[in-house]
Amino acid sequence: MNDLSFGSPWLLLLLPGVVFLAAMPYLWKRRMSPVGMRYADTGLVSGTGSSVRLRVMPYVSGLRFVALALVIIAVARPQSADAREVIRGEGVDIAIALDISGSMGQQDFDPHRLDAAKEIIADFIVERKYDRIGLVVFSRDAFVQSPPTLDHDVLLRLLDEVDLADRLRIQDGTAIGSGMATAANMLKDSTVENKLVTLLTDGVNNAGDLDPVTVATAAEALDIKVYTIGVGRPPRSGADPQLGPFGGGVVMQRGSLDEETLQQIAEITNAKYYRATDTAALRGIYEEINALEKSEIEILHFTTYRELAVWFLVPALLLFLLELILSQTVFRKIP
């Protein structure tokens, strides 16, 4: 961003003095003119050229004062300031794996599990300004919603489009192994030091051909941490309300969560397992992960200044020369 500043701004205090010097001849002339003295109108007998010359002469005299003002501004060192920031270091590469199976429509979260997760994940993305983040969704199969990107605006739009499997007309199920493998695969070629997956689910691995523990072992070999998050209240008698297929009506379903496997995944990959039983707890989990996995970023701020005095000195010189030429030719005073 370019801003105008002055290296010696106190010199600008001389500008009112220039205005005073320019006005002095006129003030002195008015003071010395006899009050009430009337003269005959000589306009009818004066030459037209002489009349124009007399009217223009004060402006010619004013050129030197305009030039002087420009010189003062130039001496005050006008500068254009250009502020820049340089980012040193590297961020964290993150893959978010999100369960979109039908049970994520249970309404023990506000408004339901998936929408609560999307809102909190969106806040998490906003906080990770310098990190490449990708998004994987999974039900019976896993899908890449977004590859790792620094364009978080696009990522947030793609996150907003995520919905329950039934509403998207894809097969239901919970392929935890496939979801984790797809997320880890996005990070396998990453050259940054810190790589992590956040895997959020409310169920048990019941689809796909990949065993979650086996996938976790492969992720650990790639130096990828997998933070696992189990959502939902513990099973109880009765049931939690859940959105029906395509969002129609409400059905009742008891949830189940394979906490043991999720804990194993986290332990194998040197990460941590979390359990969220409500929206507030889920928000706290993502805030903790955000605090644990900080980007090693150093932001250096630089300001460069470009001197602009020449843009005032050149016009000042031209005005001085113009005033000198005119005063010695067209407007020369004959003794």
User: Where do the domains of the chain lie?
Assistant: 2-33+43-82+306-328, 92-294
Range with top average pLDDT, 4-18, 38-52, 212-226, 303-317? 212-226
Q: What percent of the chain has pLDDT over 90?
A: 56
Q: Looking at residue 106, what DSSP letter applies?
A: B
140 contacts 175 by C-beta, under 8 angstroms? yes
Cα angle value 140/144/145 (rounded, 5°): 105
DSSP 3-state assignment of 60? Answer: helix
Per-residue pLDDT band at 29 (split at 50, 70, 90): low
77 contacts 7 by C-beta, under 8 angstroms? yes
Residue 250 is predicted with a pLDDT of: 41
Tell me the mean pLDDT in the region 23-28.
73
Q: How far apart are CA 128 and CA 286, in angstroms?
A: 11
Per-residue pLDDT band at 22 (split at 50, 70, 90): confident
- Angle at which helix 212-221 crosses helix 176-187, to 10 degrees, equals 10
Tell me the mean pLDDT in the region 220-248.
71
Residue 63 is predicted with a pLDDT of: 86
Tell me the mean pLDDT in the region 74-83.
87
253 contacts 239 by C-beta, under 8 angstroms? yes
Residue 256 is predicted with a pLDDT of: 81
DSSP 3-state assignment of 241? Answer: strand
The mean predicted confidence, pLDDT, of the chain is 84
Whether domain 92-294 has CATH 3.40.50.970: no
Q: Which residue has the higher pLDDT, 61 or 75?
A: 75
Amino acid (one-letter) located at 307: E
pLDDT digits (tens, 9 = 90+) for 173-184: 999 999 999 999
Q: Looking at residue 7, what DSSP letter applies?
A: S
Per-residue pLDDT band at 86 (split at 50, 70, 90): low
Residue for token pair 């297929």 = 245
- Beta pairing class for 93-99 and 240-243: unpaired
Q: Which of 17-26, 52-61, 199-208, 214-223 has the lowest mean pLDDT?
A: 52-61
Residue 95 is predicted with a pLDDT of: 97
Q: How far apart are CA 14 and CA 138, in angstroms?
A: 72
Residue 155 is predicted with a pLDDT of: 97
Tokens of 157: 């739009």
Residue 20 is predicted with a pLDDT of: 84
Residue 118 has pLDDT above 50, yes or no: yes
User: What pTM value is reported for the model?
Assistant: 0.64
